[in-house]
Amino acid sequence: MEKLRDGQTPRWRNSALKKLRVGETPRWRNSALEILRAGETALEKLRVRETPRWRNCALEKFRVGETPCWRNSELEKLRAGETPRWWKSALEKLQIGETPSWRNSTLEKLRFGETPEWRNSALEKVHAGEISFGENSALEKLRVGGTPR
């Protein structure tokens, strides 16, 4: 209160309104609305070749010849002749001699004479004579060719 009585203005009184009266423009006044009121439009800036920051978008970069990062997509890589990682499909791998993991299937193992793990079931073991359930068991009788009771 004493500063006001002496005629001195405290710092906080130098508000935006005060600055406007003096002729200083605070930062927040340089908004799009203020620029439009002053007659400086983005369109006018474009006419004078002064491009505002937000105009340097992907479209502008294309016109200049720069390719934005997001355009280096898989499709672009394919057009350029580069093969993306995922493109090496199972067919591709087979053509170049690489065997994809899913190709080591049961059918493949059977073709090459390997016995898949699940084929070594109890029934297989019984037929091979590896497991015996005793002479009187139904499974044993089936194995030998008899009829269970």
pLDDT at 82: 73
Q: What is the pLDDT of residue 27?
A: 55
- Span 102-126, mean pLDDT? 66
Determine contact, residues 70/62, Cβ cutoff 8 Å: no
CA dihedral over 60, 64, 65, 68, signed as positive or negative:
negative
Residue 80 has pLDDT above 70, yes or no: yes
How far is 49 from 141, CA to CA, in rounded Å?
Answer: 96
Taking alpha carbons only, the member of 40, 64, 42 closest to residue 54 is 42
Report the pLDDT value the prediction gives residue 117, as an integer from 0 to 100.
63
36 burial level (CB within 10 Å; 0-12, 13-18, 19+): exposed
Residue 147 burial (CB count, 10 A): 7
pTM over 0.85: no
Helix (H, G, I), strand (E, B) or coil at 133: coil
Q: What is the pLDDT of residues 2-57, one digit of tens each?
A: 556 666 766 666 666 666 666 665 555 556 656 556 555 555 555 555 555 555 56
